[in-house]
Amino acid sequence: MQTKLLVLIISLLLFVIILLTGIYSYFETKQTEQHMGQLALQVATTVSLMPGIKEAFELDNPADVIQPIAEKIRKEVGAEYIVVGNKDSIRYSHPQPWKIGKKMVGGDNDSALIDGESYISKAVGSLGPALRGKAPIFDQEGNIIGIVSVGFMLEDIQAVIFNKLINFSLIALLVLVLGIGGGILLAKNIRKDTLGLEPRQIASLYRERNAILHSIKEGIIAVDDKGIITMMNHTARNMLGISENPINQPIEKVIPNTEMYRVLESGIYESDQEMILRDRVVIVNRTPILEKDKVVGVVASFRDKTEVTEMINTLSEVRKYSEDLRAQTHEYTNKLYAISGLLQLGEYEEAIEFIQAESSFNQIQNRILSEQIQDHKVQAILLGKLGKASEHKITFIIDPNSFLKPLPKHIDISKLITILGNLIDNAFEEVMKSPKKEVTFFATDIGHDIVFEIADTGKGIDFENQPDIFEKGVSKKKGKDRGFGLAIVKQVVAELNGTIELHNQREGGAVFSVFIPKQVKHVS
C-alpha cells in the first residue's frame, strides 16, 4: 500500500509539475519575447526621434556623430546592437565598427524605409538570429531619410527564459520532495490506522467477517464510542424483527432498553446477562472494544433463550418417553407375574377373565393406533403415554373416532413432543387428584387443519385464569419453575401458524384443542 501511494503521489506530482512547467514555459517565452520586442521598438523609436541623429544625416560623415550616441544608448539598455542606417540601408553605427559603411543584413527594412512603419521583427542579421525593433527616421519635411534597428539576440532571450525555468524547476523540485515526504507520512498513518494490514488482507478479512457473521446463529451488534450502530448481522435483525437498515442509527433507537452504554462507560466485559428483547428472552454477552486502553466501542452477542429452553424441554420429553416405555414394560411384567400366580394357584377362570379384559382393551387401543393413527411419530408418543397412564392407574383413552394420516414434514417430532407431551402430561397430572382418572385423546386431519384434542376429568380451568394460562410463569400449580409448559406449547403452535383453544366440559375437566394448518404459509 505504501508503494502504491508513493507511486500515485509522485506520478500525480510529476504530471502536474510537467504540465505546469510546459504552460509556464509557453507563456513565459511569449511574455519575454513580447517584452524584449517592445523594449527594442521603444529604443528604436526614441533614437529615430533624437535631433542629433537627424542632424548628423546632413554631415559628410554621419557615422562620427551617430556611432558614439548609438553605442552609449546600447550599453544603457543592454541591447545587442543599435544600428542606424540611411535610406539605402548603409550602416552609420554598429557594435563592430568595421561593419560601418556596409549594408544592413536581414531583408526586413522595407516596411520602415518604404511604408514608414515602426514594427518588431525576427531576422538573421550579421551577428545571428535576433529580435529586432525597427523605426524610420524622418527629416523636417517628413521624408524618410534613414532607419534605426535595435536588436536582442534570440540566444540571449532564450537564456533569460531558461534561467527563469531553472528557478521554477527548483520550486517544483521542492514541491516534489515535500509531496514525497507527505506521501510517506500519509502511507504510514494509513498503515497505522489499518493495523499494518495491506488492502488485500483487509479485503480478505472483510469477506471472512461477512461469511462468519452470516453463518453464526447468534445475533451480533457493534456500536462505536457514541452508541451508533456500526454492524448488525442477519441473525440479530431476524431476532429483533428489523427490516430496515439500522446502520448509523443510535442503538437506543433500535433497542430502547440497551445496556451497552454501561459497558462503554465501565469498559468491563459482561457475560451471560439475561434480558428481554422484543418479547423474547435472550442471553447477552457484551465485550468492550479497546484501543490504547480506551473504550472505542462495544460488541454484543446474544442468543435466544427460548430456543435453548425448547431444546431442553424436547430432551426432557424424550427422556420422559424413555421412562414411560420402561414403565410400560414394568407394568406388563407385573401383569404377567399376576397371571402366572393365578395359574399356579389354579384360578384359571379369573386368569382368563383378566387376560381377556386386558386383551380387549389393548386390542381396541392397538387397532386405533395401527389402523387409524397412521403417523409413526404420534404412534410413538401415544404408546409412551399409554405406558405412563397404566403405571399411574390412569385410563388413557384414544377416541375411536380418531383418524390421522402421516403428518406433513414441517411438523417434526420435536414440535409434536412439545405440543402433545406437555398437554397429555398436564392432563395426567390434573386427574391424579380426581376421583375419576380419565384422559381422552382425539386426532383428525379432516379439512385443511390437523386437529388434536386432549380432554381430562379434572376440575378444569377457572374462567378468570383462562386468558393468562398460556403466559410464561402463570400456573395454578404450586412450586418453582412452573408456568412454562403451556407457554412453550403456544409458541410452538404459533411457529406452525396454528392456534390453541381451551374450554371446560360441562361435567368437569378441561379440553385443549390444537389446530395446525396442513400447508405451510410462506410470508413474502
SS (H, E, C) 145-184: EEEEEEEEEHHHHHHHHHHHHHHHHHHHHHHHHHHHHHHH
For residue 194, give the C-alpha cell.
Answer: 489499518
Per-domain boundaries in the chain: 2-160, 200-304, 347-517
Q: Using CA atoms, how far apart are residues 61 and 83, in angstroms rounded to an integer?
A: 16
pTM score, whole prediction: 0.40
pLDDT at res. 355? 67
SS3 12: helix
Strand order across the 219-224 sheet: 229-232, 219-224, 294-304, 280-291, 270-277
Q: Compute mean pLDDT per 10 residues along the chain, 524 residues long, and list them.
A: 76 84 81 84 89 87 89 87 88 88 84 87 80 88 89 80 81 82 79 72 75 75 88 81 82 80 85 73 84 85 69 61 61 70 77 66 67 85 82 86 89 85 90 89 91 91 67 51 69 89 86 90 48
pLDDT at res. 480? 42
pLDDT at res. 477? 52
Paired residues of 277 in beta bridges: 280
pLDDT at res. 279? 63
Topology of domain 2-160, per CATH? Beta-Lactamase (3.30.450)
CB 484 within 8 A of CB 316: no
Same topology, domains 2-160 and 347-517? Answer is no
Sign of CA dihedral 32, 38, 44, 50: negative
**If you write DSSP's letter for every residue of 376-404 in order, what string do you get?**
HHHHHHHHHHHHHHHHTT-EEEE-TT-BB
For residue 149, give the C-alpha cell.
Answer: 534597428
Strand order across the 499-504 sheet: 395-398, 438-444, 449-456, 510-517, 499-504
CATH number of 347-517: 3.30.565.10
CATH number of 200-304: 3.30.450.20
pLDDT at res. 524? 36
pLDDT at res. 441? 93
Q: Among residues 435, 434, 419, which one has the least CA distance to residue 487? A: 419
Paired residues of 228 in beta bridges: 250
For residue 212, give the C-alpha cell.
Answer: 462468519
CB 300 within 8 A of CB 284: yes
Q: Using CA atoms, how far apart are residues 35 and 362, in angstroms rounded to an integer?
A: 125
Any idea what DSSP says for residue 104? P
pLDDT at res. 505? 86
pLDDT at res. 323? 62
371: left (phi over 0), alpha (psi -120 to 50) or beta: alpha
Q: Using CA atoms, how far apart are residues 306 and 278, in angstroms rounded to an integer?
A: 12
Q: Among residues 164, 152, 150, 133, which one has the least CA distance to residue 27? A: 164
The enclosing H or E element of 372 equals none
